[in-house]
Structure 1
Amino acid sequence: MCERSSMANFLAQFQAIKNTSDRLVISVEDVSDLWPTVKPAFEGRLPFKRATLNNKTRNLVLVEKLPAEFILTTDSRLRSRFPQEQFLFWFREPYATVVLVTCEDLDEFKTILKPRLKLIVQNDEREWFVVFVSKAHPANDQASKMAKKVYAKLEVEFNTKKRERCCKYDIHFPEANFWEDLESKIMECIRNTLDRRVQFYEDEIRKLSEQRLMPVWNFCNFFILKESLAFMFEMANLHEDALREYDELELCYLETVNMTGKQRDFGGADHGDDQAALVNPGSKALTQIVQEDSFREFEFRQYLFACQSKLLFKLNRPIEAASRGYSFIISFSKSLSLRERILPFCMREVWVTTACLSLIEATTSNYNAGHMVPDIEKEFFRLLGDLYSLARVKFMRLAYLIGYGADIERSPVNSASLSLLPWPKPAIWPSVPPDASTEVLEKEKLILQTTSRTKHFGILRKPLPLEPTVLLREANRRRASLSAGNMSEMFDSRQGPMDG
């Protein structure tokens, strides 16, 4: 379906479509040039206030404020679509087609309008219905009677026992139940289309999943289909289903990355990569992170988490975003530590610090105080504390690595935190500018002065060593039992805490 030579092109199209598609499309077939007249009234019903759609398990779900837009079938956004594009990006195609017609003469209906409508609706793939627009003024009794006769003929031709496909809109005095009838027919079309497309994507994804261990496996194909399904759920405000698709996509990717026999570029060496992108899925284009038939782990895992966190915020679950984010930062930090020789100097420290701070800002801005039960609220603040603590430890270590160790307060907590963390060992150390010799001498003098014994307020203070004593190690070991999450991050080197 998606050849390697055109993979980058498909990914570029896919991202462009995602950036411009955020609402379900309802196409308008304007047979009688009525759209300019009825457009304000139709668009005034958007977004649909109470829509009922089927989720992935085919259970009816109430969707508040379903986003949608009406687009004429002559619009350039719905034209010039190649069959392969329609096949790959089916989620952006119209979910319902409204056929607007009017007619004031029975002969005209029989000879002109009826054959034209038959031609329009013969495509069984489209979910359609007809809106007959009556222009007859209530004072004109003859015109009103003719409109009723034409509409009766329309119902006979296009309604069936299983389904009503016609409704009548009076421009001057719309009937009280017209808008309810219109929205009901639109929802029926959208529901049927969504069910059919979900089934299509699931079948294609299942076929590719069965080939995962075969040489023909291509993660790009799987990704486009899986995220297309997730994005379609997101457009329909079925955020729970979209989140589940991203979770499954992440599991599949981790299995693919861990498959032996092929070396892949990890990534993380571009300018600005040290700034975490946990809440910004658009920080890098998909084409920038693709490598042959897979994606670079550094960028892609952050992209997946950013998509997950965006959906969690839409679901009003910032506490879960904070919990998932803390676990992700811990595990991803370990992945960075295994690759410190190929990554820029202090990359891990800067990334973890920025990841914690960005996640704190995003979760607190999406948190509604007072809407959570006390126990859950306490858990949220505990998670924020863990994130702040982790950011502090990494920031302190970064300061020590770049030469500000003498300015760090000497305390058992700081000494233990710094000494129990593994030190980066880059293949190439940062170069020193040729004119930096005088600055280095001044720095050395300052360090010697600050590390010598000094009296403050008449008290003699000895600088504590960076290596903790046996007593401090025992104290930290006991503290670890109370805060396993923080200490597991400190002890993430291959050596045990007592062997450092």
Structure 2
Amino acid sequence: MANYLAQFQTIKNACDHLIIAVEDVSDLWPIVRAGFEERLPLKRACLNNKTRNSVYVEQLPAEFILTTDSRLRSRYPQELSVFWFREPYATVVLVTCEDLDEFRTILKPRLKLIVQNDEREWFIVFVSKAHPSNDQATKLAKKIYAKLEVDFSSKKRERCCKFDMHGPESNFWEDLDSKIVESIRNTLDRRIQFYEDEIRKFSEQRLMPVWNFCNFFILKESLAFMFEMAHLHEDSLREYDELELCYLETVNTTSAKHRDFGGVDHGDDQAALLKPGYKPLSQIAQDDSFREFEFRQYLFACQAKLLFKLNRPVEVASRGYSFVISFSKGLALHENTLPFCMREVWVITACLALINATIYHYNDGIVAPDVEKEFYRLQGDLYSLCRIKFLRLAYLIGYGTEIERSPVNSAALSMLPWPKPAVWPIVPPDASSEVLTKEKASHLIYICGLC
């Protein structure tokens, strides 16, 4: 399954909302399309979360796509059920008929064939073309629709609704929304159960030689991503939190000690803890897991994205500060293999990214006073950590003698031993002493200004 990482990421990038398939039996979609699409996104959709509790989603994004559309027809092999999250969550069957014999001999057998797949959530929309002034056509349409209900609905499930082209019934649109949401809810419940069962099987093998974290990751993130598409962001966040715990346990095992840490590619010194798509997953995969440097940032970026959607920037700042401190310690363990000053530059860019992103998403004046106080305290912690690393960076590149040592200069506390390179960066041979002096002074002014 780990071989499907690139394919998995491609599928994820192409999905951003739930799909409602349209089986257009009678070539009606061009006629009704505008009215149907006006219903999107679905309002106040009642779905079940992972614990099977009802959750109302205010704006549920969805898209109607014809079953003949290339986006549905050009699929990967169906046996890859791990990608089930991108399949349609409901199927609307559009039909019309103006002759009873045609209904019995042609339409009914065709509909039976279409809906025989029990795994697909479907319902039928009968479109009546009868004009209100034509009593005979109106009565015939009602008679055909009545037979349609008898043949395809039951006491347990109402699977038909009627759309009048010359003036829809007052409750049609509400009925349509209700049936779509019911189908989505049932599909979601079934897929959640499938992913939970598969994840449970993999979890039971964690201490066995056959354990493969990449396989576990694809299943776990498929479930998380499905929750995210359904705007069940709390459930999605919980999956990523569990995935992070599982990964940390995996990398701390004896067998994982000698894996590459990462962080040596060009641009890695720029923190990517808010950029989940910074590197392809297939690029950071190693054997049966992922390189720690890139993957831990990826997981945090996914968590932060969900927290922003939940309007919790304070929690992003809190988690972010703890993550930077923890990750910095991890970088310190690999300083001998990482580029010079990598840890300082990474921490600085991480702090600045967190500060800018959380300020952007913070709604000033709408939160409780204690939350507001905590938010600005965290901002101060991030600025302080950033300042310390700026001063330490100045010290490491040769300006340490110019930094004032005093009780209020917290940078002095961070000037710990550093595995300095055997050869320092070479100064260009044509550089005059005046240029070096000026450059040195400008750097100090810049650093002090940031402090």
Give TM-score, length-normalised by structure 1: 0.85
RMSD of aligned residue pairs (Cα, Å)? 2.0
The reply to whether residue 37 of structure 1 matches residue 37 of structure 2 is no
Q: 1:231 aligns with which of 218, 222, 225?
A: 225
Give the partner amino acid of 2:241: D
**Residue 447 to residue 321, structure 1, CA distance change in 2 (3 Å):** closer
**Residue 270 to residue 173, structure 1, CA distance change in 2 (3 Å):** same
Paired with 1:34 and 1:291, the residues of 2 have a C-alpha distance of 51
CA shift, 1:278, in A, is: 1.4
Larger Rg: 1
Paired with 2:398 and 2:79, the residues of 1 have a C-alpha distance of 55
Aligned to 1:27: 21
Q: Percent identity?
A: 74
CA shift, 1:197, in A, is: 0.3
The reply to whether residue 67 of structure 1 matches residue 61 of structure 2 is yes
Aligned length: 441
Aligned to 2:8: 14
Q: Give the alignment of 1:254-333 within 5 angstroms.
A: 254-262=248-256, 263-333=258-328
Paired with 2:400 and 2:438, the residues of 1 have a C-alpha distance of 14
Aligned to 1:240: 234
Q: Give the alignment of 1:438-449 within 5 angstroms.
A: 438-439=431-432, 443=436
Q: 1:364 aligns with which of 356, 359, 378?
A: 359
Check the 8 A contact 2:317/2:355 in 1, yes or no.
yes
Paired with 1:232 and 1:429, the residues of 2 have a C-alpha distance of 51
Aligned to 2:416: 422
Check the 8 A contact 1:322/1:363 in 2, yes or no.
yes
For the residue of structure 2 that corresponds to 1:99, the secondary structure is: strand
Q: 1:120 aligns with which of 107, 111, 114?
A: 114
Check the 8 A contact 2:392/2:414 in 1, yes or no.
no
**Deviation digits for residues 53-100 of structure 1 (CA, Å, limit 9, x no counterpart):** 000000000101000000111111111334356412100000000000
Aligned to 2:385: 390
**Residue 199 to residue 292, structure 1, CA distance change in 2 (3 Å):** same
Check the 8 A contact 2:389/2:411 in 1, yes or no.
no
Q: Give the alignment of 1:86-485 within 5 angstroms.
A: 86-262=80-256, 263-414=258-409, 416-425=410-419, 429-432=423-426, 435-436=428-429, 438-439=431-432, 443=436
CA shift, 1:426, in A, is: 5.1
Paired with 2:438 and 2:48, the residues of 1 have a C-alpha distance of 72
**Residue 113 to residue 447, structure 1, CA distance change in 2 (3 Å):** closer
Paired with 1:167 and 1:383, the residues of 2 have a C-alpha distance of 55
CA shift, 1:314, in A, is: 0.3
Check the 8 A contact 1:344/1:426 in 2, yes or no.
no
For the residue of structure 2 that corresponds to 1:331, the secondary structure is: helix
Paired with 1:446 and 1:208, the residues of 2 have a C-alpha distance of 58
For the residue of structure 2 that corresponds to 1:83, the secondary structure is: coil
Paired with 2:423 and 2:55, the residues of 1 have a C-alpha distance of 57
Paired with 2:57 and 2:363, the residues of 1 have a C-alpha distance of 21
Check the 8 A contact 2:405/2:412 in 1, yes or no.
no
Paired with 2:153 and 2:377, the residues of 1 have a C-alpha distance of 60
**Deviation digits for residues 102-159 of structure 1 (CA, Å, limit 9, x no counterpart):** 0001000000000000000001010000000011111222111111111011011001
**Residue 88 to residue 426, structure 1, CA distance change in 2 (3 Å):** farther
CA shift, 1:311, in A, is: 0.2
Paired with 2:380 and 2:312, the residues of 1 have a C-alpha distance of 18
Check the 8 A contact 1:341/1:424 in 2, yes or no.
no
**Residue 446 to residue 379, structure 1, CA distance change in 2 (3 Å):** closer
**Residue 292 to residue 83, structure 1, CA distance change in 2 (3 Å):** same
Check the 8 A contact 1:128/1:165 in 2, yes or no.
yes
Paired with 1:89 and 1:396, the residues of 2 have a C-alpha distance of 48
**Deviation digits for residues 354-394 of structure 1 (CA, Å, limit 9, x no counterpart):** 00000011111001111111111001000000000000000
For the residue of structure 1 that corresponds to 2:167, the secondary structure is: coil
**Deviation digits for residues 332-355 of structure 1 (CA, Å, limit 9, x no counterpart):** 011111111110000000000000
Give the partner amino acid of 2:271: A
Paired with 1:46 and 1:412, the residues of 2 have a C-alpha distance of 61
Paired with 2:141 and 2:342, the residues of 1 have a C-alpha distance of 73
Paired with 1:201 and 1:428, the residues of 2 have a C-alpha distance of 52
**Residue 349 to residue 112, structure 1, CA distance change in 2 (3 Å):** same
